[in-house]
Amino acid sequence: MIKKLLVAIPAYNEEEKIGEVIQNIPGKLSGVSEVHVLVIDDGSTDNTAKIAGDSGAKVIKNYFNMGYGVAFSKGLQYSLDNNFDLMVSIDGDAQ
């Protein structure tokens, strides 16, 4: 059984899709005790971070675009720092 699952979503200027992406993540999964959602906003100039937070995600914000690799690494570091058993990464644009 997985106790804590982190769904990490690197995102850049995804205000049109990020809310939908977060809402489509199941709050409960068979064999998983806790599902958490983290959006790593990679310097977006739109409302990605606000919409993500309003949709229930924890948000880490880069104040300028650092690239997908850095955003992914920040999600991975967050998962390690917070003792998640498993991290999965999905795209912020629902593709």
What's the rounded Cα separation, in Å, for the pair 77 and 83? 10
What's the rounded Cα separation, in Å, for the pair 5 and 43? 25
CATH 3.90.550.10 fits 2-89, yes or no: yes
What's the rounded Cα separation, in Å, for the pair 45 and 49? 9
pLDDT in tens, 17-64: 999 999 999 988 899 999 999 999 999 999 999 999 999 999 999 999
According to the model, what pLDDT value does residue 22 have?
Answer: 98
Is the confidence at residue 66, as pLDDT, over 90? yes
Is the confidence at residue 70, as pLDDT, over 90? yes
Per-residue pLDDT averaged across 3-25, rounded?
97
Question: Residue 72 has which token pair?
Answer: 């992914």
Q: What are phi and psi of 56, to 5 degrees?
A: 105, 0
Whole-angstrom CA distances from 8 to 17, 64 are 15, 19
Domain ranges of the chain: 2-89
